[in-house]
């Protein structure tokens, strides 16, 4: 395998420490992720002149403060070689080639450098206006060649078989004599720890052969601040470690002075700003110890290619340094980087806000959600006045909503933080996290509401949050569909179920409170059977079905008739929007299937209403041929978001439809009005035509219907008789005593 190694994109850290311990130094390596071929995120930190017990301090911190788990030892060896072809009579070489090899576990990663070959950057810079370099053929290879060998002894065996003229390098400077035949020059001895299900942290001591003063294994970079560190070795360490079979690893670098030359793009200077300009404000990150440091030694150096990586650098290094010689260390990221990392920075020098460790988030996530029933919501709405709307503490009052919403959002933020990192990086998921974090921070900071005028402003803020979150459903569906190969079907469906039920619960609280406030502001009166907030105490099931059927069927349409039978006139207390969303989706699917199978004379669809002691039920029966065409092993798989259970989740057309919906400012609120709009657009095409299979839909209707049905303890079941049709059974509780089905 040949690859050009490029490791020149990063953020620059400036750091200040005061450490006076002479012997040895340590690497502290933070984990990041090898994603797909288009994105590799690395981050690292180095602690120079650490105290002798520094490694144990970091280890204890990971185990005690971050609930880390020991995974095993970490051992790494680096060797370097030089070519001796130039010593052969008759062979004229203008420059000596060098090679560096890193052995880790069962893999050997090798970089070979040809000083006479151009780098890829040099070649591209010489490209002429027509796309070809003037008077220069395309090189057969670039300056750096990257190889992966297995097992560990493969490199030595290969060189022996080829009789390659490479010898180990131990000389501190060019031309110095060899000191023995061992090519091992650097080893790292440490341990691997896991933090949660996502992050791995590798820490270890660096041991240099011959001592630090002699560590000059390869030709050095020629720069005003050259300290003898090879760009080749730097590129090796920073480029190949992310390519290990374990996709959760990082890169390291061995230079104090070469970061600007090796890893930093000067083009980023303007965008990142000068590290010294930002000062010690609220955007600084402090790593324990004394309050201030007065000595700048450039002992802390690191690379951040992803903002969450910075959190774990700090998490891995945050420990009490009293009495061990370690003073305060401050990382200055520059203005733009600070803005990108806003949620992970301290609001004061003594308070750390980390991705996995935020005191406010932990405080709210530790609280239990105060779930309500429909009966409680109705009772509060009927007995409401301005005083109760403001001061009631245990029902749907203004201050209850103000304090309850951030708790429910915090639970979902913790769920998202527990996802594997590769899932969080999928398109749409990170946007949802940002929206949730913004809403959480906004709502938890909202002051107590004491007057009705303040409540009106609060309702306006709630409306803004609801509008801002209108793209949550398509973004979640898009991101989790793309992440489906990386999650088990059970884990994916369980996560999305918690996210979507929690979303419904928050919208119910917010919309119910807004509706009650609006009715109170308008001085309107309510009767026993009228609407209370968003709830209809006397919701007529037959009327809901007929209303949905009327929208779906227009006079003159060649669509199947919908017949409503059973126990007609049944009424119960429920949220009409939820019931009609489910009924509309089920009738729409039945009409589509029946019209496709019977384009000329479709048989009717029958909706049967029945009532039991505790539940109201609806059965919708069609003659649409069943679900054989869906290619799922079980009817319940139609409710799944995982491609393992429903292969259509990864169809290109569906992904494109979700991507389009996620970018639409209107978003998707999962309402009947949205269903009607989509139906009217789809209905412009002939459902009896062969083009039916080619039309792509978002595919969220059935899963959302199932979640709406189970929100207050109901159920939705499908029974298919292939070749004949499908029966769908909807059961909803009618007493209003079931608590919301949200999960902590």
The CATH number given to whatever domain includes residue 686 is 3.30.565.10
Query: Do 648 and 679 have their domain in common?
Result: yes
Give residues with Cβ within 8 angstroms of 586, minimum separation 6: 620, 705, 728, 730
> In this predicted structure, what is the pLDDT of residue 234?
45
Q: Which residue range forms the structural domain that includes residue 701?
A: 536-733
Out of 147-151, 338-342, 465-469, which region has the weakest mean confidence (pLDDT)? 338-342
> In this predicted structure, what is the pLDDT of residue 161?
66
Question: Which parts of 93-198 are beta strand (E)?
Answer: 98-104, 107-113, 144-149, 166-168, 184-195
- pTM above threshold 0.75: no
Structure confidence by residue, pLDDT tens digits, 365-410:
999 999 999 999 998 888 888 888 887 666 668 999 999 999 999 9
- Whether residue 264 has pLDDT greater than 60: no
The number of distinct structural domains making up the chain is 3
693 inside domain = yes
Helices assigned H by DSSP within 321-451: 335-340, 359-365, 374-382, 386-391, 398-417, 421-424, 429-444
| CATH number, position 501 | 1.20.140.20
Query: Do 413 and 457 have their domain in common?
Result: yes
Query: Do 546 and 467 have their domain in common?
Result: no
Query: Do 551 and 619 have their domain in common?
Result: yes
Task: Record the tokens describing residue 656, joined without a space.
Answer: 């494109």
Structure confidence by residue, pLDDT tens digits, 160-212:
766 667 777 654 434 444 433 345 566 777 788 877 666 667 777 766 554 43
Query: Do 484 and 573 have their domain in common?
Result: no
Strand partners, 629: none
**8 Å CB contact between 361 and 319:** no
Question: Which parts of 87-183 are beta strand (E)?
Answer: 98-104, 107-113, 144-149, 166-168
Query: Do 435 and 567 have their domain in common?
Result: no
Query: Do 486 and 555 have their domain in common?
Result: no
Query: Do 238 and 162 have their domain in common?
Result: yes
Mean pLDDT of the chain, nearest integer: 68
**8 Å CB contact between 630 and 645:** no
**8 Å CB contact between 412 and 499:** yes
403 inside domain = yes
Cα 728 from Cα 742, distance rounded (Å): 24
Query: Do 494 and 541 have their domain in common?
Result: no
Burial level of 27, CB count in 10 A (0-12/13-18/19+)?
buried
> How far from 629 is each of 7, 382, 601, 725, CA to CA, in Å?
50, 49, 21, 12
Q: What is the tally of helices (H) and strands (E) in the chain?
A: 22, 23
Query: Do 384 and 258 have their domain in common?
Result: no
- Whether residue 291 has pLDDT greater than 70: no
Structure confidence by residue, pLDDT tens digits, 697-743:
678 889 999 999 999 999 999 999 988 999 999 999 999 999 999 87
3-state secondary structure 605-668: EEEEEEECCCEEEEEEECCCCCCHHHCCCCHHHHHCCCCCCCHHHHCHHHHHHHHHHHHCCCCC
């Amino acid at each position: 395998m040949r690859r050009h190694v490029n490791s020149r994109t990063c953020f620059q850290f400036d750091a200040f420490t005061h450490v006076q311990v002479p012997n040895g130094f340590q690497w502290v390596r933070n984990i990041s992720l090898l994603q797909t071929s288009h994105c590799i995120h690395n981050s690292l930190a180095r602690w120079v002149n650490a105290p002798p017990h520094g490694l144990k301090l970091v280890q204890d911190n990971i185990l005690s403060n971050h609930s880390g788990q020991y995974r095993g030892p970490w051992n790494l060896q680096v060797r370097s070689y030089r070519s001796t072809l130039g010593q052969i009579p008759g062979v004229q070489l203008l420059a000596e080639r060098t090679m560096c090899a890193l052995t880790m576990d069962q893999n050997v990663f090798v970089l070979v450098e040809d000083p006479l070959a151009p780098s890829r950057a040099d070649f591209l810079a010489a490209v002429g206006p027509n796309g070809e370099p003037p008077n220069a053929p395309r090189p057969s290879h670039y300056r750096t060649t990257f190889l992966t060998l297995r097992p560990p002894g493969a490199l030595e065996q290969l060189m022996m078989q080829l009789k390659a003229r490479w010898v180990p390098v131990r000389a501190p400077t060019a031309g110095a004599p060899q000191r023995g035949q061992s090519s091992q020059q650097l080893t790292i001895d440490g341990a691997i720890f896991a933090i949660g299900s996502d992050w791995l942290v590798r820490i270890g001591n660096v041991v240099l052969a011959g001592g630090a003063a002699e560590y000059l294994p390869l030709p050095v970079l020629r720069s005003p601040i050259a300290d003898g560190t090879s760009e080749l070795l730097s590129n090796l360490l920073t480029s190949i470690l992310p390519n290990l079979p374990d996709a959760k690893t990082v890169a390291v670098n061995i230079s104090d002075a070469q970061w600007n030359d090796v890893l930093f793009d000067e083009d980023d200077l303007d965008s990142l700003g000068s590290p010294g300009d930002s000062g010690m404000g609220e955007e600084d990150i402090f790593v324990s110890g004394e309050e201030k440091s007065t000595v700048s030694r450039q002992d802390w150096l690191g690379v951040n290619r992803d903002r969450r990586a910075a959190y774990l650098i700090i998490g891995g290094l945050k420990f009490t340094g009293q009495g061990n010689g370690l003073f305060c260390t401050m990382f200055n990221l520059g203005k733009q980087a600070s803005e990108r990392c806003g949620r992970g920075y301290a609001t004061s020098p003594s308070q750390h806000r980390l991705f996995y460790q935020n005191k406010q988030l932990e405080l709210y996530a530790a609280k239990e959600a105060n779930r309500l029933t429909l009966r409680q919501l109705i009772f509060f709405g009927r007995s409401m006045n301005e005083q109760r709307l403001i001061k009631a503490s245990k029902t749907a009052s203004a201050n209850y909503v103000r304090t309850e919403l951030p708790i429910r959002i915090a639970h979902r933020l913790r769920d998202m933080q527990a996802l594997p990192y590769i899932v969080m990086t999928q398109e749409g998921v990170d946007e949802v996290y940002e929206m949730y974090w913004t809403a959480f921070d906004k709502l938890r900071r909202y002051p107590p509401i004491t007057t009705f005028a303040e409540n009106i402003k609060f309702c306006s803020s709630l409306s803004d949050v609801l509008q801002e979150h209108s793209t949550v459903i398509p973004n979640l569906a898009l991101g989790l569909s793309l992440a489906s190969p990386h999650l088990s079907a059970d884990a994916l469906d369980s996560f999305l179920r918690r996210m979507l039920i929690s979303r419904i619960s928050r919208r119910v609280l917010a919309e119910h409170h807004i509706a009650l406030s609006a009715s109170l502001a308008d001085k309107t009166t309510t009767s026993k059977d009228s609407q209370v907030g968003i709830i209809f105490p006397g919701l007529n099931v037959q009327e809901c079905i007929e209303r949905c059927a009327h929208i779906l069927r227009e006079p003159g349409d060649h669509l199947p008739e919908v017949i409503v039978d059973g126990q007609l006139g049944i009424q119960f207390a429920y949220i009409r929007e939820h019931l009609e969303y489910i009924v509309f989706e089920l009738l729409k699917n039945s009409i589509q299937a029946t019209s496709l199978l019977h384009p000329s004379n479709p048989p009717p669809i029958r909706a049967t209403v029945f009532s039991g002691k505790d539940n109201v039920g609806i059965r919708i029966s069609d003659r649409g041929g069943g679900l054989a065409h869906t290619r799922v092993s079980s009817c319940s798989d139609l409710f799944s978001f995982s491609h393992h259970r429903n292969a259509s989740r990864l169809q290109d057309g569906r992904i494109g439809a979700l991507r389009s919906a996620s970018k639409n400012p209107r978003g998707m609120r999962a309402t009947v009005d949205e269903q009607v709009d989509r139906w009217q657009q789809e209905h412009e095409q002939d459902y009896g035509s062969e083009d039916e299979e080619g039309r792509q839909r978002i595919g969220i209707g059935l899963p959302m219907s199932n979640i709406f049905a189970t929100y207050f303890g109901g159920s939705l079941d499908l029974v298919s008789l292939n070749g004949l049709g499908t029966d769908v059974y909807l059961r909803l509780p009618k007493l209003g005593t079931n608590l919301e089905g949200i999960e902590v």
